[in-house]
Amino acid sequence: MTRYLFLLLVPLVPFVQTRFDAVVGTRDLAEGRIYLRTASEVRRFTPGFDNLMADLYWLRTVQYFGEQRAFAPDPHYDLLRPLIDITTGLDPRFELAYRYGAVFLSEPRPAGAGKPAEGIEVLQAGARNLPKSWRVRWDLGSFWFVFMRNSKNAADVLIDASRIEGAPFWLESLAGSFLMGDDRKASRAIWQRQYETGWGAIRDNAIHHIEVIDALDARDALTAAAARFKEANGRFPRRLSELVDAGLVRAIPVDPSGTPFDYDPETGKAAIARTSSQWRSKYE
């Protein structure tokens, strides 16, 4: 409701904007200067106009980012984080500023500031100030995974997000997918839980991912058996049937879809066949 009070303050915008420009000014932003560097300083300058000033500072943030990205020969984005912090300091519930501000900070240069650690800090602040926003946590988990390559932190955040009222079920599924490359045991536990508590397409999706994990585990077991064969014989097996003859595996295994594994006798590595429904390029 308080957000709609902005409409009542529209007649005051020119006055506040004039005072704002007198201190901040578009030219100062373009030249890399900002005089009010904290929300508390802005609040002292314009008491009682926190939400209005947050909106103005967000407009300036977007303007500054756009100008740097589109027109600066060497974009520096030095003022980006201070502008975002002032905006969210004035209005800690400004969800858009956290989410898009983090994108501006995290995108690789020159499209963005190339500072994903700062982007994550902004989203973490958003998660603290907006405890019921699963969307901020969705972004935070995705940023941990995409920019920082930290699947555990990503999954932890997404699982927390999935427990917020109104959050979509697929947040937990996304956490399971993020973990499949680094922590199959934790990923399997997530998919098993979805299988046991879900229904219909959710259970079918869980079964499929469990089968992919089974195939990855079997692939690694075959590669390990080939390594043990080489320790005993001085070479990798020429074909997987030699592992059976050596008693290292009970039978030539197939993946859960019934497709035989590919095998490279030069490297001793097994692989899920590309013709298999369990094959995923990112796991090979």
Nearest to 65 by CA among 104, 96, 27: 104
Tell me which of 92 and 37 has the higher pLDDT.
Answer: 92
Distance CA(281)–CA(212), nearest Å, equals 12
pLDDT for 26-66, tens place per residue? 445 545 556 677 888 888 888 888 999 999 999 999 999 99
pLDDT for 180-211, tens place per residue? 989 999 999 999 999 999 889 999 999 999 99
**263 and 168 in one domain?**
no
**94 and 227 in one domain?**
no
Q: What total number of domains does the chain contain?
A: 2
Domain with residue 12: its CATH number is 1.25.40.10
pLDDT at 15 exceeding the cut of 80: no
Q: Burial of 196 by CB count in 10 Å (0-12 exposed, 13-18 middle, 19+ buried)?
A: exposed
Q: What is the pTM of this model?
A: 0.82
* Average pLDDT score over residue span 216-222: 95
User: Is the residue at 179 inside a domain?
Assistant: yes
User: Is the residue at 173 inside a domain?
Assistant: yes
**Among residues 175, 206, 237, which one ends one of the domains?**
206
pLDDT for 243-252, tens place per residue? 999 999 999 8
User: Is the residue at 211 inside a domain?
Assistant: no
pLDDT number for residue 42 = 85
pLDDT for 105-154, tens place per residue? 999 999 999 999 999 999 999 999 999 999 999 999 999 999 999 999 99
pLDDT number for residue 43 = 85
**82 and 20 in one domain?**
yes
DSSP string of 183-211?
Answer: -HHHHHHHHHHHHHH--HHHHHHHHHHHH
**131 and 28 in one domain?**
yes
**Among residues 206, 235, 265, which one ends one of the domains?**
206
pLDDT at 162 exceeding the cut of 90: yes
Distance CA(78)–CA(130), nearest Å, equals 26
Phi, psi of 147 (to 5 degrees): -90, -35
**198 and 240 in one domain?**
no
**199 and 60 in one domain?**
yes
User: Is the residue at 53 inside a domain?
Assistant: yes
User: Is the residue at 153 inside a domain?
Assistant: yes
pLDDT at 281 exceeding the cut of 70: yes
Tell me which of 283 and 43 has the higher pLDDT.
Answer: 43
What is the extent of the structural domain holding 223?
216-283
User: Is the residue at 191 inside a domain?
Assistant: yes
**185 and 54 in one domain?**
yes
pLDDT at 13 exceeding the cut of 50: no
**DSSP letter (8 states) at residue 24:** T
pLDDT number for residue 6 = 43
Q: How confident is the model at residue 1 (pLDDT cuts 50, 70, 90)?
A: very low
**228 and 170 in one domain?**
no
Q: How confident is the model at residue 21 (pLDDT cuts 50, 70, 90)?
A: low
**Among residues 177, 206, 235, which one ends one of the domains?**
206
pLDDT number for residue 29 = 52
User: Is the residue at 242 inside a domain?
Assistant: yes
**94 and 23 in one domain?**
yes
**275 and 155 in one domain?**
no
**48 and 16 in one domain?**
yes
**Of 14-18, 174-178, 210-214, where does mean pLDDT reach its minimum?**
14-18
pLDDT number for residue 26 = 47
pLDDT number for residue 38 = 84
Q: Identify residue 239 by its one-letter amino acid code.
A: R
Q: Identify residue 8 by its one-letter amino acid code.
A: L
* Average pLDDT score over residue span 266-281: 93
**67 and 196 in one domain?**
yes
User: Is the residue at 224 inside a domain?
Assistant: yes
pLDDT number for residue 284 = 73
